[in-house]
Amino acid sequence: MTAGAVVVCVGNELVADDAVGYEIYRRLADSPLPPGTVLRYAAVGGLALLDYLTGTESALIVVDAVQFGAPAGTIHRLPWDELPDFGAGAISAHFIGLKETVDIGRLLYPERLPATITLVGIEGRCFDRPRDCMSPEVAAAIDPAVACIEDYLHASPRSLT
């Protein structure tokens, strides 16, 4: 049995596809999560996100809209060490990319970051329009992504991939 998991949903609730993290957070907040699960929402990324990523939990799931070049709405489930490295900002539309933030956290607080870190990312394409312009493919991927996260949280500890 693990010490639990922390799920950090990142995204700007006011911006088209970037609101996917907020939408997943809302749905998970209304779901019965296993004891020991910590659910957090972060409207912005960058180094301020480090406080959300560290703790005593044994697994971390980071949820965000991504731009890896796949079709919009594609759900990516990747162990952190397998994320593509496109440079700062490629994983997140925020100031410093999530990958870089976790890498910095591993350097500064290696004992405080969970041993297992997984990204659940939904491929987005619209990051410069208001919320009501969320891509239909992205909106359709939200519930399957939530189900994937719930399945992981209710299963024995293992990678989401």
- The three-state DSSP-derived secondary structure of 108-146 is HCCCCCCCEEEEEEEECCCCCCEHHHCCHHHHHHHHHHH
- The average pLDDT across 6-18 equals 91
C-alpha to C-alpha distance for 158 and 143, rounded to whole angstroms: 21
CA-angle at 55, arms to 13 and 59, nearest 5°: 75
Domains of the chain: 5-154 (3.40.50.1450)
Q: pLDDT > 70: what percent of the chain?
A: 82
Residue 2 confidence class, pLDDT cut points 50, 70, 90: very low
Higher per-residue pLDDT: 18 or 109:
18
Task: Tell me, yes or no, if the pTM score tops 0.85.
Answer: no
